[in-house]
């Protein structure tokens, strides 16, 4: 694959080289600065068939090295969707949502994929949700055999590692609430996912609250008989739905809405292709991220994909708003937010259906 997408890595990633099998650590980025978001073509080009092509737009996109966050990036390049809509994408690797929002606040990132746990930052006005990736069921709370933990109630007084502000912490808090405990009853240690895996394997924590493929890495390193699954996303479904989403930096959306629309037209084509061709997609993602195929495939069983037509309908009928309103209530309860914010304030319910309708017209 002759990928034009340039990779750049966050400083935080440099500390989480847990194994070569999980993800490859990279070096410094090449090319232009990360905050280059303008266009480099003075005027649209006209082709022989009189169709006007948009000027080339450079955008910085944050992704996560999994089958949720990478497919639109790798397929957008591989299948020519970015080129079709005049986009030059600088892809930047992150391992969780909160650092992505920090990068968006600095205007280093324009568009990012996030898990449900980081949604509270979008609800605080730091990002606008435009599209969903899937409904996720891969978050799990795992305890070491040595800890003696078998249920959420047993976590009292124990040490749990989790990246705070993520879906892992969200599942942990739901489990504690169900057991009649609060986060203050547990020694919750803020760790990045790689650090949590390393600490678990070394028996430096009693439990971790993280997600696939990192939970799969634990299983590989310690064996199925040496840990206990306390609970996970599926334990709270359908009372709580956990969607992954793509968010846009608010100022970028305001200033470059046409570019955002072009990106999501390419995104829709890539995402629908991914859903219909999962085997090919996994192979391309494995090559792009250097994450083993088996680790990526293990995630597929924990996801419910949403194609563009279904998603457009869910934006329009209020389904997605309902999901996020419920999550906001949870964020308030867990003191991630001081008051509830209507999901309609941080979700653009009009753009995605508009894009799908325009793509349908283009296809005729």
Q: Would you list the DSSP string of 102-166?
A: HHHHTTS-SEEEE-GGGHHHIIIII-EEEEEEEEE--EEEEEEGGGT--SGGGGTT-EEEE-TTS
- 16 band by pLDDT with thresholds 50, 70 and 90: very low
Instruction: Report pTM.
Output: 0.78
Per-residue pLDDT, 7: 42
- Predicted local distance difference test score (pLDDT) of residue 19: 37
d(CA 149, CA 144): 7
pLDDT exceeds cutoff 80 at 219: yes
Crossing angle of helices 214-222 and 293-300, in 10° steps, is: 120
Q: What is the pLDDT of residues 153-209, one digit of tens each?
A: 999 999 999 999 888 999 999 999 999 999 999 999 999 999 999 999 999 999 999
Q: What is the mean pLDDT of residues 89-103?
A: 95
Tell me what the pLDDT averaged over the chain comes to: 87
**Whether pLDDT at 47 is above 90:** no
Asked whether 113 and 244 are in contact (CB, 8 A), the reply is: yes
pLDDT in tens, 105-144: 999 999 999 999 899 999 999 999 999 999 988 899 999 9
pLDDT at 138: 87
> For the chain, what percentages of helix, strand and coil (3-state, to nearest 5) are there?
45, 20, 35
Q: d(Cα 312, Cα 349) in Å, to the nearest integer?
A: 9
- Choose the most confident range, by mean pLDDT, from 13-17, 221-225, 253-257: 253-257
**Confidence category of residue 51, pLDDT binned at 50, 70, 90:** low
Read off φ and ψ for residue 89, nearest 5 degrees: -100, 125
Mean pLDDT, rounded, for 318-345: 94
pLDDT value of position 105: 97
Which residues are paired to 211 by β-bridges?
Answer: 139
Q: How far apart are CA 282 and CA 277, in angstroms?
A: 9
The confidence band for 40, taking pLDDT boundaries of 50, 70 and 90, is very low
Which residue has better confidence, 230 or 48? 230
The listed range with the strongest mean pLDDT (39-48, 293-302, 314-323) is: 314-323
Report all structural domains of the chain as residue ranges with CATH numbers, in order of start. 6-136+242-363 (3.40.190.10), 139-236 (3.40.190.10)
């Amino acid at each position: 694959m002759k990928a034009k997408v340039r990779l750049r890595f966050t400083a935080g990633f440099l500390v989480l080289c847990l194994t070569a099998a999980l993800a490859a650590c990279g070096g410094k980025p090449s090319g232009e600065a990360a905050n280059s978001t303008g266009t480099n073509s003075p005027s649209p080009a006209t082709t022989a068939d009189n169709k006007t092509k948009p000027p080339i737009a450079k955008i910085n996109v944050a992704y996560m090295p999994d089958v949720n966050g990478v497919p639109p990036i790798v397929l957008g390049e591989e299948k020519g969707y970015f080129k079709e809509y005049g986009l030059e994408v600088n892809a930047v690797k992150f391992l969780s949502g909160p650092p992505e929002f920090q990068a968006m606040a600095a205007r280093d990132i324009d568009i990012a994929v996030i898990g449900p746990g980081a949604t509270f930052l979008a609800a605080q006005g730091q990002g606008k949700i435009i599209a969903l990736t899937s409904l996720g069921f891969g978050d799990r709370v795992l305890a070491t055999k040595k800890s003696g933990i078998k249920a959420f109630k047993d976590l009292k007084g124990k040490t749990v590692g989790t990246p705070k502000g993520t879906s892992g912490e969200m599942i942990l808090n739901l489990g504690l609430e169900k057991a009649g405990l609060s986060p203050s009853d547990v020694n919750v240690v803020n760790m990045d996912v790689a650090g949590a895996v390393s600490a678990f394997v070394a028996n430096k924590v009693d439990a971790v609250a993280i997600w696939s493929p990192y939970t799969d890495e634990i299983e590989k390193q310690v064996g199925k008989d040496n840990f206990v699954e306390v609970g996970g996303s599926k334990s709270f479904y359908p009372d709580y739905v956990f969607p992954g989403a793509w968010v846009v930096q608010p100022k970028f959306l305001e200033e470059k809405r046409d570019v955002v629309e072009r990106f999501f037209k390419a995104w829709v084509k890539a995402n629908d292709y991914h859903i219909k061709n999962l085997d090919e997609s996994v192979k391309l993602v494995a090559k792009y991220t250097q994450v083993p195929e088996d680790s990526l495939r293990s995630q597929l069983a924990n996801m419910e994909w949403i194609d563009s037509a279904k998603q457009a309908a869910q934006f329009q009928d209020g389904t997605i708003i309902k999901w996020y309103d419920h999550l906001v209530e949870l964020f308030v309860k867990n003191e991630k937010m001081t008051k509830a914010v209507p999901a309609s304030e941080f979700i653009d319910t009009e753009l995605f259906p508009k894009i799908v309708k325009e793509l349908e017209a283009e296809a005729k």
